Structure 1
């Protein structure tokens, strides 16, 4: 019996290696009980990750639906990791590493076996209403929760010759209106933005010739066609960072804060912004100059790198299942 089981596993592995089955088909053959997302494109030998944001609502709103389909997408794309763009816990963050919010809004919601891989997490404004240090310290509790500091970076090997640089910012201290209400945003006034900006520039100026893709993650958008389209906070954030990202050829700026799905690249800009903030609550959205896509739908985005292109797929996830609403390709 053991020899037969071993033969079956070897056969499945050989079939997968030869490209005869997709990651989803392989997992189903080995016992996975989740569903496929048929219109989600899997690129063979690609390097993939998923992005969601603004999620922590005790499984209410659309959070359970998005979590279910996020798990399915992770299997379909054989994704390496997951990125959260912040506002991880509503309305007021967490108090400690033992706050029940960790169970009710994270551990018991994102329970598909595929989601037990690395999460790289940013801080949102609602996280600043609680204990930020507790979210950093939770990395010592959870194997999958990665937040070594308020801002950090990590380099990933895409293949033998190419790497991707992922920079996770803490955008909250740059939002000037938060400094007018320091009691609401705990500790935001004490953060040294000059120090963070210097660090950011040093990261972006990397001289590693193998880094082919530069991706920056933050909570607040550079641009929006939604609720904060004309907000002073948005305009000032754009003024502070849009030129900097272009100068250092950041391929993608990934953010949330708006509870919708948007892709924006204003005329003349190098960096494309991908806004994925619809992992639980959804609000009406709109368009602005440079809008490529926008939707007031619950969901997330997937990123797949294959050679000189990055395929971004925007996925709606609700009670009926998942559907790809839009695909966009970045080319080097």
Structure 2
């Protein structure tokens, strides 16, 4: 979501003011870019989200538009994220050592959330092993009897179908994370990067069972159509079997976790009076 053309901003602010949300999850690419105009663009963005971030948890992970100056604007502006990686407790940003908010985890209700920094695979290869070790060890410690849901979020997709971004780059991320997700039964991976919305069925090694009842693999969702200077990103390829729904309309996603077995997901389109475009109930009968 950019400082300009932030299509969803008013709708989401209204929902926050009406106490419809408990948490906001923003999966990278802030302001476009936070470092522009010596950081003034980042200041505008932070002012725009203040009515929301001051009211409830505003949880983030870094995108490719945060990479300037060693992620210093991301690292410093979002210092209040949990820094619980034993493998790498600090990171070196453009301003020196800082708590590691590049990859971390936390519990919220009956969901265990894990944030990952996908850009590490492309710009910081020396950190890949530490991040993967953290995710693997962190997920191994989750007590599914107490915390039944696991959701991982990062910026880039492991699976998508719109264009060439879904080829080599997505494969690079899959090579690092897909086996860890499958091993620990990650329920959902939420990302952005593509400026559209695409909900996949459960997918493992490019195969899907096309079920939302006790799916055997991770469900993948791209929700990157909040609005920014780069506008829409059209789908230039046919819709594959693994894709349940996709659109390039501006919008945002809403998730409700009802209990240990039912999660409700929907996509709200801002182009047409905040209509719900896509909705699904994910039923996990056994952890």
TM range (shorter): 0.7 to 0.9
Identify the residue that residue 59 of structure 1 maps to in structure 2.
4
Q: Report 1:147-162 matches (<5 A).
A: 148=83, 149-156=101-108, 158=109
Question: How far apart in 2 are the matches of 1:207 and 1:114?
Answer: 27
123-132 or 215-224, larger mean C-alpha shift: 123-132
Identify the residue that residue 227 of structure 1 maps to in structure 2.
163
Is 1:277 equivalent to 2:217 in the alignment? Answer: no
Q: Does the residue aligned with 1:219 lie in a helix, a strand or coil?
A: coil
Scaled by the length of structure 1, what TM-score is found? 0.68
Match of 2:266 among 293, 313, 323: 313
Do the aligned partners of residues 234 and 139 (structure 1) sit closer, same or farther apart at CA in structure 2, a change above 3 Å counting?
closer
Do the aligned partners of residues 275 and 230 (structure 1) sit closer, same or farther apart at CA in structure 2, a change above 3 Å counting?
closer
Do the aligned partners of residues 154 and 234 (structure 1) sit closer, same or farther apart at CA in structure 2, a change above 3 Å counting?
same
Identify the residue that residue 134 of structure 1 maps to in structure 2.
73
Question: How far apart in 2 are the matches of 1:201 and 1:94?
Answer: 32
Question: How far apart in 2 are the matches of 1:326 and 1:289?
Answer: 17
* Aligned-pair CA distance for 1:112: 4.8
Question: How far apart in 2 are the matches of 1:256 and 1:207?
Answer: 25
Do the aligned partners of residues 236 and 321 (structure 1) sit closer, same or farther apart at CA in structure 2, a change above 3 Å counting?
same
Q: Does the residue aligned with 1:116 lie in a helix, a strand or coil?
A: coil
Identify the residue that residue 99 of structure 1 maps to in structure 2.
39
251-260 or 321-330, larger mean C-alpha shift: 321-330
Do the aligned partners of residues 147 and 87 (structure 1) sit closer, same or farther apart at CA in structure 2, a change above 3 Å counting?
farther
Identify the residue that residue 29 of structure 2 maps to in structure 1.
87
8 Å contact 1:245–1:271 — kept in the other structure?
yes
Spell out, residue by residue over 1:72-130, the C-alpha distance to the aligned partner (whole angstroms, 9 max, x if none): 33356621110111111324x4279x82123323313x365687321111100111134
Match of 1:302 among 254, 257, 265: 254
Question: How far apart in 1 are the matches of 2:20 and 2:242?
Answer: 31
Which consecutive aligned stretches of 4+ in structure 1 deviate over 6 angstroms post-superposition?
none
Identify the residue that residue 200 of structure 1 maps to in structure 2.
135
Is 1:256 equivalent to 2:203 in the alignment? Answer: no
* Aligned-pair CA distance for 1:264: 0.7
* Aligned-pair CA distance for 1:138: 1.8
Unaligned runs of 5+ in 2: 84-100, 210-215
* Aligned-pair CA distance for 1:193: 0.7
* Aligned-pair CA distance for 1:231: 2.2
Question: How far apart in 2 are the matches of 1:190 and 1:274?
Answer: 25
Q: Does the residue aligned with 2:270 lie in a helix, a strand or coil?
A: strand
RMSD after superposition = 2.4
* Aligned-pair CA distance for 1:302: 0.7
8 Å contact 1:74–1:114 — kept in the other structure?
no
8 Å contact 1:224–1:288 — kept in the other structure?
no
Spell out, residue by residue over 1:126-165, the C-alpha distance to the aligned partner (whole angstroms, 9 max, x if none): 111345133222245xxxx647511111112x2xxxx210
Do the aligned partners of residues 76 and 309 (structure 1) sit closer, same or farther apart at CA in structure 2, a change above 3 Å counting?
farther
Identify the residue that residue 11 of structure 1 maps to in structure 2.
none
